[in-house]
Amino acid sequence: MKRDTCLLGILLVVYLLTGLSYIWATPCMEKPDEEDHYGYLRYVREHRRLPPLAPQEKWLFESKQPPLYYVLAALATAPLRDVADPDALIVQNPYMDLSVPGYREDNRNAYLHPPTMTPVIFGARCISLLFGAGMVLSVYALARLLLPHAPLFALAGAAAVGFQPMALFIATSLSNDAPTAFFATLTITLLVYRQRRASHHFSFENKALERWNVQTLQRDFHPTAGARWLMLNSLLIGLVLGLSALTKVSALVFCPLVALSLLIIRRRIDAGLLKELALIGLVTLAVGGWWYGRNALVYHDPFTLNAHLARTAQSRPLADYLWQDLRDIERTFWGNLARVFVSQTWLDQVGLWWGRISGGVMLIAAWRQRRLLARRAGDIALLALWPATFGVLLLGFWARQANWAWGRFLLPGLGPLMLLLLLGWYALLPARWRTWGAAGAAGVVVIIGMLAPWVSILPLYHPYAPPKAIEYPSNLILQDAEGASIAKFLGYSLAQPTAIPGDYAPVEVCWETLHRSAQPLTVFVQWLDLTPTRTGSQPAVVGGRNTYPGLGNLPTTRWPLGKRFCDRVLVQIAEDVPTPLGAALEIGLWDTETGERLRYVTPEGRAVDWVVFKGIAIVDEAAQRPPEARSAQYVFDGQIRLHNLTQGRVGDNLILTTTWTASTNPAYDAVLFVHAQNAQGETLAQADRQPLDGRYPTSYWYPGVVVTDVLTLPIPADTPVTLTLGLYTLPDVARLPLVDAEGVGMADNALRMTNGE
C-alpha cells in the first residue's frame, strides 16, 4: 500500500512539472478562448462582483459562464499585480488568417503576446492544473474500484488520462474546462463506487464469476448503516453536480447522466430510486441553482441560451459536415495543441494511431470477452455512457452551431474512455502480461504528453531561429521617419534556386533588433520583375508576402532588443508570371497605418534610395527537362552551353532561336550580341541585350534549366550576311571564352555563320 501511494505521489509530481512546461511553452492568450476568460477573471478581480450576462465591454464574451472557476482564480491571484489590461495584452495578429496552407509554423499565434507570462495568467493556469491533478486522482480511484487487485492498472489509467496531450493542454489554460472535466470524472467515480457497494467486485482473473446479485442491486440499503452510506453518497453526488453547474452551463448534462446511471445500477424505477434522485436534485439545486435563478430574475435567461447562441453560425445539415467533423474531432482530441487548426506533427500522428489501435484492441477484446461483458454490462454501461453522450452532443449540437468541431469538448468523458481503452489491452493479453501490457500502452501516452510541449507547441510560437551561414549577407540598417534605427538587416538565404508559378518559395530573412517601434511594423518580402525598369516604368510585383517579424511572434513593439534571428518566410509566386523570369527580391519594413516604408541606411548613416537583391529563377516545368538535342555544340566560359542555333524568316526579319543550359550558376549577367555584316564588312543589323530582353539574366541560370531565346534582326530577304554571335560582360565589355564541342577555342571568342546555315 505504501509503495502504491509513493508511486502515485511520484506520478502527481511528474504531472505537475509537465503541466508547468505546457504553461511555459504556450504564450498568453494562445489557449482556446483565453482572452474572454481573462476578461471575466479581471472583471471579478477589479469589481469584486460578477459581470453582467450581456455586457457591452470587450473581452467579456464568457460572462455567460457560471462563476466558480473565476472566483477561485481571482481569490488565488489576489496578491498578484495585474500588469496589463485586455486592450494592451490582447492585440490580434492580423496575419494569422493569411498563414500558408499546410505550413505549420507560420503566424499560428492569434495575438501579439508579450515576451513573458503575466503573473495573473500564470496563476490562473496553475489553478486549472490543480483541477487536472484532481482528475488524475479521481481516475486512479475509479480504476481501483474497477480492478481492486491491480494497483498498477490504476496508476496506468491515471497516467494515461493525466498525460493525454489535449487534456494537459486544456488543464493548463485559463478556462473553466479543466474543473468541468474534474467534476465529471469525480461524478463517475462516485457512481461506480455506488455500483461497487451494490454488487460484487469485478476481476478479469476470476474465471468463476458469481452471478449478478439482483437482490443486492435492488435492496434499499438496510440496515441503518447502509441507509446512512446511501444518503452520504447521494449528498456527495449532489454536491459535485452543484459545483459542476457553477462551473459550466454544459455541465448540466451531468444531471440526466447521473439519473440514467442510477437507473442502470438499480435496474428499475422504484421508490428508492426516486428518493435518491430527489435528494441529489435538492443538493444540486441548493449548491448551484442560485446562479441560474439570478439569470432568470435579472436577465430572463436562466440557462444563458440566448447569450450562448448569440454569435453562433446557422445550423448546418448533418450530411454536410458529419464525415469532416468526425475527422476533425479525432485529430483535435489526440493532438492539434493550438487554438487554430494546424498541420500534424509526427507526434500527433503517434497519438492519433495510438487511439485508433487501442480502439481496435478494445473491440477485439469485447468480442473475445463477450460473456464477461454480458454479466458486467452495468460496469461497462456506466463507463461508456459519458463519452458516448458527449460525442453525440458534439456532433449533434455543438458542431452544428459552428463551422468547426473541437475534440476538447469530449474531455468530460476522457476518464472512462481511456479506462475502457486500457481495459481492452488488459483483457486481450494473457493473464501474466495483462497489467504490464496496459501499463505499457499508458506509457506511450505519457511519453507523448511529456514530449508535446517541445515537439508540438514550442515551434508554433518560436518558429524563428538564430542566424547560421547567411547566403547573401548584408549590413544595412532600417530607420523610421524619426530617424530611429529599428533593425539591422543581416541578410537572407534562398532555400531553392528555382520555382514554378503558383509555388511558395522560402526565403530566410535575418534581423538584429535595435529599437522598439510605437506601432507594429510589417515585414514585406516581394518577388519583382525588373524588366519594366529598363523603359523607366515601375517594377512588376509577381509575388509577395506580409508578416510580422518572428512569423507573427516577435512584433516590433515588443521584440527583445539585441536579438539576432531568422524567419523562414514562404513567399508565393503569382500563377500568371511569364516564364522564364529572373525575379529580384525586395525585403523591408513598413508601417501599415501610414503606408510609409522604413528607409535603408548604411552603417555610416548614408541613405540608400532603393534596394533590391538577387532572387530566384521562375521557370515552367517544361524548362526543367533536359534539351532534346545532343550535347552542347559550344561552351562559353566553361559553364554556359549553347545546344541549338536555328534560323528562320518572317518577311524581312531574320529569326534566330537559341537553346541554352548552364553547368553552374554564373556569377555575372552576360550580354548576348549578334552582329550581321555584309560582304564589305558593313554592319546591317545588330542586337546587344541580355537573354530574353533582360527578363532572364544569366546570373539566374541554374543547372537543369533549359533557356530558349528568340532574337529578331531586320534583314531584307535574299541579303547575304555573316552573323557573329557571342557573350560579353559589363562594364569591361570582355567577351566570354568560347570553345566548340571538342574543346577547340573559337577565334575572337565568337561564333560566325552565314544566314541560311
**pLDDT tens for each residue of 571-622:** 999 999 988 999 999 999 999 989 899 999 999 889 998 899 999 999 987 7
Q: Which has the minimum average pLDDT: 54-58, 408-412, 419-423?
A: 54-58
| Residues 558, 635 within the same domain | no
Query: How is residue 745 annotated by DSSP?
Result: B
User: b vs e for 128-164, b when ≥16 Cβ sit within 10 Å of the residue's Cβ?
Assistant: bbbbbbbbbbbbbbbbbbbbeebbbbbbbbbbbbbbb
> Rounded mean pLDDT of 107-119?
84
> Rounded mean pLDDT of 449-477?
93
Provide the pLDDT confidence category of residue 202 given band limits of 50, 70 and 90: very low
| Residues 506, 447 within the same domain | no
- How does pLDDT run across 544-585, given as a tens digit for each residue? 999 999 999 999 998 999 999 999 999 999 999 988 999 999
Q: Which of 87-91, 105-109, 625-629 has the highest mean pLDDT?
A: 105-109
Whether residue 209 is contained in a domain is answered as yes
Residue 119 pLDDT > 50: yes
Whether residue 396 is contained in a domain is answered as yes
Q: Rounded to a whole number, what is the distance in angstroms from the first to the last CA of the chain?
A: 99
> Rounded mean pLDDT of 118-140?
95
- Determine the angle formed by the axes of helices 68-76 and 34-47, rounding to 10 degrees: 60
Residue 343 pLDDT > 90: no
> Rounded mean pLDDT of 379-388?
90
| Residues 648, 533 within the same domain | no
Q: In this predicted structure, what is the pLDDT of residue 210?
A: 36
Taking CA atoms, 128 is separated from 40, 69, 496, in Å, by: 15, 8, 46
- How does pLDDT run across 478-531, given as a tens digit for each residue? 999 888 999 999 999 999 999 999 999 999 999 999 999 989 999 999 999 998
Whether residue 108 is contained in a domain is answered as no
- What DSSP assignment string belongs to 256-270? HHHHHHHHHHH-S--
429, 460, 491 — which closes off a domain?
460
Q: Which has the minimum average pLDDT: 60-64, 376-380, 663-667?
A: 376-380
CATH number at 632 reads 2.60.40.2060
| Residues 311, 446 within the same domain | yes
Residue 371 pLDDT > 90: no
386-391 long-range contacts, CB within 8 A, separation 24+:
386/184, 386/188, 386/257, 386/412, 386/413, 386/415, 386/416, 386/417, 387/413, 387/414, 387/416, 387/417, 387/420, 388/413, 389/253, 389/257, 389/413, 390/253, 391/329
Whether residue 91 is contained in a domain is answered as no
Q: In this predicted structure, what is the pLDDT of residue 272?
A: 85
Q: Which has the minimum average pLDDT: 174-183, 366-375, 556-565?
A: 366-375
| Residues 400, 515 within the same domain | no
The total number of structural domains that make up the chain: 3
Q: In this predicted structure, what is the pLDDT of residue 401?
A: 65
Q: In this predicted structure, what is the pLDDT of residue 310?
A: 52
pTM of the model: 0.85
Higher pLDDT, 202 or 241: 241
Q: In this predicted structure, what is the pLDDT of residue 216?
A: 39
Residue 220 pLDDT > 80: no
| Residues 381, 505 within the same domain | no
The residue segments making up the domain with residue 597 are 472-622
Whether residue 102 is contained in a domain is answered as no
* Arithmetic mean of pLDDT over the chain: 87
Contact yes or no for 656/708 (Cβ under 8 A): no
Residue 629 pLDDT > 60: no
Say how far apart CA 128 and CA 121 lie, in whole Å: 11
Q: Nine-digit cell at 272?
A: 428508492
Whether residue 97 is contained in a domain is answered as no
Q: In this predicted structure, what is the pLDDT of residue 648?
A: 84
Contact yes or no for 19/130 (Cβ under 8 A): no
| Residues 380, 419 within the same domain | yes
| Residues 38, 174 within the same domain | yes
Q: Nine-digit cell at 500?
A: 514554378
| Residues 516, 646 within the same domain | no
Contact yes or no for 652/716 (Cβ under 8 A): yes
622, 650, 667 — which closes off a domain?
622
Residue 398 pLDDT > 90: no
64: Cβ contacts below 8 Å, ≥ 6 apart: 53, 249, 304, 307, 308
- How does pLDDT run across 285-302, given as a tens digit for each residue? 999 999 999 989 988 888
Provide the pLDDT confidence category of residue 623 given band limits of 50, 70 and 90: low
CATH number at 492 reads 2.60.40.770
| Residues 644, 737 within the same domain | yes
Residue 132 pLDDT > 50: yes
Q: In this predicted structure, what is the pLDDT of residue 137?
A: 97
Q: What letter represents residue 714's amino acid? A: P
| Residues 268, 305 within the same domain | yes
> Rounded mean pLDDT of 325-338?
90
Question: What percentage of residues in the chain have a pLDDT greater than 90?
Answer: 56
Q: Nine-digit cell at 142?
A: 475509479
Taking CA atoms, 531 is separated from 212, 317, 608, 687, in Å, by: 87, 53, 21, 17
Residue 84 pLDDT > 70: no
Whether residue 103 is contained in a domain is answered as no
604, 622, 640 — which closes off a domain?
622
| Residues 708, 571 within the same domain | no
Q: C-alpha angle 574/578/583, rounded to 5°? A: 70
- How does pLDDT run across 698-738, given as a tens digit for each residue? 999 998 888 999 998 888 877 888 889 999 998 889 999 99
Provide the pLDDT confidence category of residue 682 given band limits of 50, 70 and 90: confident
Contact yes or no for 701/662 (Cβ under 8 A): yes
Whether residue 205 is contained in a domain is answered as yes
